[in-house]
Structure 1
Amino acid sequence: MKSIVAVSSKKQLATFIDFPHELYKSDPNYVPELFIAQKDLLTTHPFHKHSSLQCFLLYDDKQVIGRIAAILNNSHNEMNKVNDGFFGFFDCINDQSAANLLFDTASQWLKDKGVTGKVIGPTNFSTNESCGLLIQGFDMPPVVMMPYNASYYPGLLEGWGLRKQVDLIAWSFTGENYDDRSVKLMDRLEERLQRNDITIRKINMKNFKQEADSLREVYNKAWDKNLGFVPLNDEEFDYQAKDLKLVLDADFCLVAEKDGKLVGFGAAIPDMNQIQIKIKKGRLFPTGIFKLLFGKKKVKGIRILLLGVVDGYRKMGIEACIYGKIIKAYRAKGMEYAEASWTLEHNDLVNNAIIAIKGDPYKKYRIYEREI
């Protein structure tokens, strides 16, 4: 008999975090999330100071067969002047009745919180964090900080009545699709930018705090027109910047400046999932920490996870130039691949810049919605 339990104890939270390990134990492309990071996200992240969530576990007798989190993001609703709710951390066996029970429960929790608009997801907690359901590209592991799910998931969401809100594209770069023409294009773009007194430089890691303060301002301005965007407050941005600094390589973090003022930036990080995939159940202790520390030098790919240019400086080639310089740097380091992820399907400006340097749209993710 199926039953839903609202997560309220440390033991239940650990079960909630660990459930995907059992679900995907036979899937070679599954990458376990680090337990300590997931626990932190669900309990102490700055998000919890202004918004709320409730995790649920679905049991069939004593066996866990699904999980979901109902998420009330007050910042999103205030920013976009809506009254919507979200769901995230969704995992379930291939059983429509089980999925329906999870979605019904999350939806009811949101209604009880006063939500009257749409239920949207999956997002963990917003588009600033991991979001989207994989709908294309199931044949390889995800890169760092990107979601992964079984190919039957879209059917479960659509079976409950969820429909597409927007698709997110992940772009692949390999040695074969980054050629001399792409390099020449980037060089010409940079020369044109310099004639307009716009320079592109590496981030100053020795002055990271001051750089991060400027990046936060650009981030919130550059993404403010994106669908579903929620600006990060100071504490949230610092939280994310602190984590990224641990793996950041200055060659992969570039800023565009005009008269000493930041007008754009792009950042990539090593694809630590190459190591994380080998860490059983996402536990760093006793041996996982050594795999993480000593495996970093063996990583052969990167994820370009941030690119933004403030309004007034778009359509000048800054986007393509930053992408190109990051790709050029990863090639110089002997790496084998890069993924740029993600971009909105209708963001023609950025998508065309990626196409110009021969990015391949090889994976697709979808955010769904339904009237609550």
Structure 2
Amino acid sequence: MHGVIDRAAPANVQVRAADHGRHHRLFVRLPYTLYQDDPLWAPPLRFEERHRWSERHNASLRSRWTRRFVAVRGRRVTGRIAAIVDPGFARTWEEATALFGFFECADDPESAAALLAAAEAAARSRGMRRLLGPVNLTPHDETGILLEGFDVPPTVQSPYNPPFYRQLLEGAGYELVRRYYAFSATPTDEAAPAVTRLVRAAARGIGPARGVTVRSIDLRCWVDEARILWRLYNESFASLWGFVRIGWDEFRQRAKAFKVFAEAELVRIAEYEGEPVGFGLTLPDINEALRGTGGRLLPFGWLHLRRHVPRIRTVKFLMLGVLPAHRGRGIGPLIAYETQQAAGRLGYERLDLSLVQA
């Protein structure tokens, strides 16, 4: 959603700065209140949500300016928002455009308008003229709002919200600028005939993918493998709208978090004559285990996770990238095929492929 910065806050709602102290704690806690009766919502671990706002634990904060706010009506916190200035995004894609993210709100148009007005004023103080979002800090994080499929449990790294969010944002003058899609498959779905021919030809050393091999990562050499993935990610996605190059410290932190649940067969690197040219990152959908924890590991959340992690049945195909010089050779379909086969061997029942730009 995209809007021009030119509004005043409604008078019936108070907006409080939430960068520190009590209001910051309210900012972090709000989703757990808003979604407490929603059986589909997967509560993120609370300590991880606190760490998102620590430069020590989140290197992405070091290169971005942020301001956080909560909306209060009477004694009730009705919403939250963050204003974000990402110099890399503004320089590469949208000049004088700030981002807003972490938007959560009750079905209260005045609270939504007040939050957006506060974010707009904060962005304006940094010389910005437009606001785009929701983007939860960086383009590498949760992006957008859910427009359809409210009866489907969200997978990890996917947006989730009530149906009225679109009305709240459009009612405040924001308009839709991009659409993303999610797709679902199973490991037993038959590959398209063209993919089957491609795989067979590659195995015989002929066809457009000759010389290409697809391997699993080696979890024993995680740092070395992560550096390969980091380079491939930055180079493969550079021309994708909204993408901002990610630094090594940022990527290393994210890779460390992914490693906890990563399965080697689901993280694939394609090589051409021994050189990495593409990758696919697929992870077990930890959201299936998080539902029912309330975001807490103690006193009993860790037992819930321990019991449910082995029962995860869905994997999330998070990323698929191929270096520009090697596109058109079928490397992407090869990676996807190998990933689908691996998911079946590992006993998973469903693959979620998202988010995909229209």
Matches for 1:271-290 after TM superposition, within 5 Å: 271-280=285-294, 282-290=295-303
The reply on whether 1:133 has 2:145 as its aligned counterpart is yes
Tell me the CA shift for residue 48 of structure 1: 1.7
Correspondence 1:241 to 2:255: yes
Q: Distance in 2 between matches of 1:189 and 1:51?
A: 47
Is the aligned partner of 1:207 residue 2:221?
yes
How far apart in 2 are the matches of 1:189 and 1:153?
48
How big is the shift at 1:316? 1.3
Paired residues, number? 343
Q: How much has 1:216 moved relative to structure 2?
A: 0.9
Residue 46 of structure 1: aligned partner: 59
How do residues 143-154 of structure 1 correspond to structure 2 at under 5 angstroms?
143-154=155-166
Measure how far apart 1:176 and its partner are. 6.5
Report if the CA contact (8 A) 2:226-2:255 is conserved: yes
Match of 2:281 in 1: 267
TM-score by length of 1: 0.87
The structure 2 residue matched to 1:339, chosen from 333, 337, 352, is 352
1:335 counterpart SS class: coil
Query: Structure 1's 32 and 182: CA in aligned 2 closer, same or farther, altered over 3 A?
Result: farther
| Closer/same/farther in 2, CA of residues 217 and 56 from structure 1, 3 Å limit | same
Given that 2:195 and 2:334 are in contact with CA atoms closer than 8 Å, whether structure 1 keeps it comes out as: no
8 Å contact kept, 1:71–1:85: yes
Offset, 1:307: 0.8
Q: Which has the higher contact order (CA 8 A, sep 6+)?
A: 1
Aligned to 2:116: 103
Q: Paired residue for 1:82, among 74, 95, 100? A: 95
Partner-residue secondary structure (3-state), 1:141: coil
Does 2:182 match 1:170? Answer: yes
Q: Does 1:20 align with 2:34?
A: no
Task: Tell me the equivalent position of 1:187.
Answer: 199
More helix by share: 1
TM-score when normalising by structure 2: 0.91
Letter of the 1:13 partner, please give it.
H
C-alpha displacement of 1:209: 1.0
| AA matched with 1:65 | T
| Farther off after superposition, 31-40 or 297-306 | 31-40
Distance 1:272 1:279 in 2: 12
Is 1:31–2:42 an aligned residue pair?
Answer: yes
The correspondence for 1:11, drawn from 19, 22, 25, is 22
Q: Structure 1 residue 59: deviation in Å?
A: 0.6
2:172 is matched with which residue? 160
In structure 2, relative to structure 1, the CA distance for the partners of 1:156 and 1:33 (3 Å cut) is same
1:65 match: 78
Find out whether 1:225 has 2:225 as its counterpart.
no
Shift of 1:80: 3.6
Contact kept? 1:189, 1:321, Cα under 8 Å: no
Separation of aligned partners in 2, 1:147 and 1:80: 22
What residue in structure 1 maps to residue 6 of structure 2? none
Q: Whole-Å Cα distance in 1 between the matches of residues 174 and 115 of structure 2?
A: 13
> Which segments of 5 or more consecutive residues in structure 2 lack a partner in the other structure?
1-11
Q: Which moved more, 1:305-314 or 1:322-331?
A: 322-331
Assess if the C-alpha contact under 8 Å between 1:70 and 1:109 holds in 2: yes
Distance in 2 (CA, whole Å) between partners of 1:54 and 1:35 is 20
Q: Which range moves more in the overlay, 231-240 or 32-41?
A: 32-41
Q: Mean alpha-carbon deviation: is it higher for 85-94 or for 156-165?
A: 156-165
Change (3 A) 1:324 1:277: same
Amino acid at match of 1:271: D
Q: Which amino acid aligns with 1:270?
A: P
Per-residue CA deviations over 1:232-277 (Å, capped at 9, x if unaligned) read 0111111111111111101101101112211100011101111101
Distance 2:231 2:22 in 1: 39
- Deviation at 1:337? 0.6
For the aligned residue pairs, the C-alpha RMSD in angstroms reads 1.9
The separation in 2 between residues aligned to 1:240 and 1:54, in whole angstroms, is 23
1:256 and 2:267 aligned: no
Structure 1: gaps (5+ residues)? 346-372
| Farther-moved stretch of structure 1 (53-62 vs 22-31) | 22-31
Output the CA distance in 2 between the equivalents of 1:261 and 1:179: 27
**What secondary structure sits across from 1:312 in the alignment?**
helix
The residue that corresponds to 2:334 in the other structure is 321
Q: 1:167-188 CA deviation, whole Å, 9 max, x = no partner?
A: 1111101367446858735633
State the AA in 1 paired with 2:120: S
Distance between the aligned counterparts of 1:167 and 1:54, measured in 2?
A: 27
